[in-house]
Structure 1
Amino acid sequence: MNVLNGISAVVTDIEGTTSSIDFVKDVLFPYARARLPAFVETHADRPEVQHWLHEAAREAGLVCASWQEIVDLLIRWIDEDRKATPLKALQGLIWEDGYASGEFRGHVYPEVRENLEKWKKQGIHLYVYSSGSVTAQKLLFGHSEAGDLTPLFSGYFDTEIGGKREADSYRRIAEAVGLPPDQILFLSDLVQELDAADAAGFRTIQLVRPSTQVISTRHEKVEDFNRISIG
């Protein structure tokens, strides 16, 4: 196990990295899909809901679309696993009810909490970057199987800062956290995201979880957070 020196911050992905892809696909997505129509009908007067519905229509090029047309669009995006910011924002709002009622808790792999706590004690700043909305990220870690992990994180980023496969997104993150890119370690299971982070100057490690499909030959690989040593 190589010791990584000169790291001041860790930015972690969620799905396939800190948490199981199955939890997202088998619990969160079906929950939001089943409740989306009723949620829009009962919450369409909320400014934030109106905003994201309009953003979804704008992104799809729909003009003067009805709420039902937008709901149908969002359902299709869920089925396609579309990484659309308006959809992710609305899903986060719907999941809030499920977490609050205790219908489910956010999955995190068993070794994640202890390693995040260890790195934080070392003075390393911890951040999340996920295609899920910041609201959804805070809900998952705030209601996780390992307890409330949100006090461990210094900040959260979603696709409003840019796509996860675009190098400029990581440059913006480095600017936002106020650190040189080579002092930031990015953790993800996806090669395309790691490539983008590497192009921006980040240090990178690929998490090879049971769900990982494409193994990188360019990035250091580990099976879990226990295999990551930061000096």
Structure 2
Amino acid sequence: MSQHPTAILTDIEGTTSAIAFVKDRLFPFASAALDGFLAERVKDPVVAALLAEVAALAPDQPPAETLRGWMAADAKVTPLKTLQGMIWQEGFFDGRLKGHLWPDVAPCLRAWAEAGVGLHVYSSGSVAAQKLLFGHSEAGDLTPLLGGFFDTRVGGKREAASYTAIAAALGLPPGEILFLSDIAEECDAATAAGMRACRLVRVADGTLPGSRHAEVPDFFAVSEAFGLPKPAPT
């Protein structure tokens, strides 16, 4: 086995966290709170700027209606993701929300970080939402373990240029970075940019095998496959 990667770049939904958590918990929470949030923050310049972005993208209907349609379609639209993150922040801060992580994730992240492996996140959810999930997770605050956070402002997750830009931002050759995702096409884009990639196939989350990439069931198996440190037995 070749030397283990210098850094790991991980997806969230379907990789570190159950798809159902985002779909069945976070999305309904944001949808239910949307009208009240917009009414309360109507004079907030950040919210106003985001709503202007929404209006520019869909000028023929009210922004709130557009946002609800995007939520229903799980559209990867940056102003939507940013607003969702702001709404979720309130729920995480007051304890109504806790970030779901598969039980293998936190022990492996801690072991990898302790060994000096750089840990970074790339998700279609906003950077703010990423920090909320890891900062208020069921396993505690994991943000001290994580260095870079990247969202769709760096580019689409199925575009090789996005991974090239992330490697440049981290100051690392792409070949020293291992990308973890449950989506084969995202792994395709990462490898096209020169990164190594591994696909998480979590049977409990309904992920089906069958991609061109290394496939593993959990982060323990990532450690095994790529020569990374393993967590101490508990």
- TM-score (normalizing by structure 1): 0.93
* Residue in 2 that maps onto 1:30: 28
**Would you say 1:119 and 2:126 are equivalent positions?**
no
* Residue in 2 that maps onto 1:94: 87
Q: Which moved more, 1:86-95 or 1:48-57?
A: 48-57
Q: Is the Cα–Cα contact under 8 Å of residues 206 and 219 in structure 1 kept in the other structure? A: yes
* Residue in 1 that maps onto 2:17: 19
- Provide the secondary structure at the position in 2 that maps to 1:105: coil
* Residue in 2 that maps onto 1:198: 191
Structure 1 unaligned residues grouped into runs of 5+: none
Structure 2 unaligned residues grouped into runs of 5+: 229-234
The alpha carbon displacement at 1:212 in A equals: 4.5
The alpha carbon displacement at 1:192 in A equals: 1.0
Equivalent runs, 1:42-53 vs 2, <5 Å? 42-53=40-51
Residues 131-168 of structure 1: CA deviation (Å, up to 9, x unaligned): 00000000000000000000000110000000101110
- TM-score (normalizing by structure 2): 0.92
* Residue in 2 that maps onto 1:224: 218
**CA distance in structure 2 between the aligned counterparts of 1:157 and 1:52, rounded to whole angstroms:** 18
* Residue in 1 that maps onto 2:232: none
The alpha carbon displacement at 1:59 in A equals: 2.3
- Provide the secondary structure at the position in 1 that maps to 2:199: strand
| RMSD between superposed Cα atoms in Å | 1.3
The count of corresponding residues between Structure 1 and Structure 2 is 224
**Would you say 1:140 and 2:138 are equivalent positions?**
no
Given candidates 203, 208, 224, the residue that maps to 2:201 is: 208
Q: Is the Cα–Cα contact under 8 Å of residues 189 and 212 in structure 1 kept in the other structure? A: no
* Residue in 2 that maps onto 1:155: 148
The alpha carbon displacement at 1:113 in A equals: 0.8
* Residue in 2 that maps onto 1:54: 52
The alpha carbon displacement at 1:6 in A equals: 4.5
The alpha carbon displacement at 1:215 in A equals: 2.7
The alpha carbon displacement at 1:4 in A equals: 5.1
**CA distance in structure 2 between the aligned counterparts of 1:207 and 1:4, rounded to whole angstroms:** 20
**Would you say 1:171 and 2:164 are equivalent positions?**
yes
